[in-house]
Structure 1
Amino acid sequence: MRATDATATDAPTRRPANRRELILEAAVELFHRHGYPATSVDDIGKAVDVSGPAIYRHFSSKEDLLVEAITLAADEVHAVNRVARADTDDPRALLTGYIRAYTDVALERSALIAVWTSERRHLSRERRSPMGRRLRSWTHEWTDALQAARPELDDDDAFLLVTAAIGLITSVATGPDRRDDPHLAENIVTMALATLDAPVR
């Protein structure tokens, strides 16, 4: 689904396929609402009508739940990037595709994306490092496309603009609920593109 075709309000509701996925979805919502440190395994169990210890039949620790959530978010973001790359080899069109695709994911899966961007700092160092590498590989894809579209940019300037555009999309899409705004997705795309076109000194 393209951002221009529909807003997040039109997105189909995802139904967890099994108990493990149900637990993960509940954990994502609680991590998003209360933060990872303030959410206990008992809180997650209560949300899915099981005892806290029953969670350990599916996940060995609360951190495993966070790892699973962050991995899922990264998988979805990388997947839509692959689709965007398959659609065009023009760098300007590719940037637009990246922005539209991430906007769609961020609006449709706002809690998951918020957890990915704001809660991964709570992972232990050895588990945080691979997640950081995946994030960097994703942003580097955007940076490469931006430098192809704007060859005057050096690595630092291109990375700065990409980081700003991604941050804008993330903060608006995962911030206060404005899903009744029929123009929200397209406005986000427009602002993110303008960010990538911003002059640098």
Structure 2
Amino acid sequence: MTRQPTAAEAAPSGQPKPTRREQILAAAAELFALRGFHGVGIDDIGSAVGISGPGLYRHFRSKDAMLGEMLVAISEKLLAGGLRRVELADAPAEALTELVRWHVDFALDNQALITVHERDLANLAEDDRRRVRALQRQYVEVWVEVIREVVPATDEPTARAAAHAVFGLLNSTPHSKHLDRDAMAVLLHRMALAALTGPGALTGLTTSA
């Protein structure tokens, strides 16, 4: 009998088929999200993509290396996508709208990765953890700059705190399964923009040095 592709191996219609390496990372992310990093073995990941556990070592030197590449890659993707949308926007308000839309789509389409990041960042090797943190800081600063352009009276600490608060809202997707994807995307987008640009949302606040 011909083996059917797993969810990790399947590609959406019109999208390139993921590489073997991408399939392995996708399967590992699902398993890490479900069981935790320490609850998943190499054989479990191999089984999910239809190859022997030891066969994975042709692609990754260790399970730790998989986690490192997984979390560094999503941090790079978030930053690159955010920068691209700001670059293409014609005005600050449009840039903020596109940043929110980008993060909403990312959060809805990568729920397992969000769970893994929240739970297993501490399990990264030190170099990978520093790289992820540096990329995250850069991504936050993209938001801070745009927020301050849209709401000019906002100081940097307030804009940074607001960005992190909105990330918390948008990254709640692994725990928010009450609506279908399209409805959830609309809800999150509206809530995030209201939190950042609603009347008085970021004004009248003072921060200490």
Rounded to whole Å, the distance in 2 between the matches of 1:60 and 1:179 is 40
> TM-score scaled to structure 1, two decimals?
0.84
Q: Is the 8 A contact 2:25 2:66 kept in 1?
A: yes
Q: Is the 8 A contact 1:106 1:169 kept in 2?
A: yes
> How do 1:35-184 and structure 2 match up within 5 A?
35-171=36-172, 173-178=173-178, 180=180, 182-184=182-184
Secondary structure, aligned partner of 1:115 = helix
Percent identity (aligned): 33
Secondary structure, aligned partner of 2:164 = helix
* Amino acid of the structure 1 residue aligned with 2:192: A
RMSD across aligned positions (CA): 2.2
Q: Is the 8 A contact 2:104 2:170 kept in 1?
A: yes
* Amino acid of the structure 2 residue aligned with 1:188: L
Rounded to whole Å, the distance in 1 between the matches of 2:144 and 2:187 is 22
Q: Is the 8 A contact 2:72 2:131 kept in 1?
A: no
* Amino acid of the structure 2 residue aligned with 1:60: R
Q: Is the 8 A contact 1:69 1:115 kept in 2?
A: no
Q: Is the 8 A contact 2:32 2:40 kept in 1?
A: yes
Matched pairs, number: 190
Rounded to whole Å, the distance in 2 between the matches of 1:148 and 1:64 is 39
Question: Gaps (5+ residues) in structure 1?
Answer: 1-10
CA spacing shift, 1:179–1:42, aligned 2, 3 Å: farther
Secondary structure, aligned partner of 1:136 = helix
| Structure 1 partner of 2:188 | 188
Q: Is the 8 A contact 2:46 2:52 kept in 1?
A: yes
> TM-score scaled to structure 2, two decimals?
0.81
Rounded to whole Å, the distance in 2 between the matches of 1:101 and 1:133 is 20
Q: Is the 8 A contact 1:69 1:116 kept in 2?
A: no
Q: Is the 8 A contact 1:73 1:116 kept in 2?
A: no
**Deviation >4 Å, runs of 4+:** 13-16
Pair 1:34 & 2:35 matched: yes
Question: Gaps (5+ residues) in structure 2?
Answer: 1-10
* Amino acid of the structure 2 residue aligned with 1:189: H
C-alpha offsets along residues 169-195 of structure 1, whole Å, 9 cap, x if unaligned?
011x23243452642111101111122
* Amino acid of the structure 1 residue aligned with 2:97: T
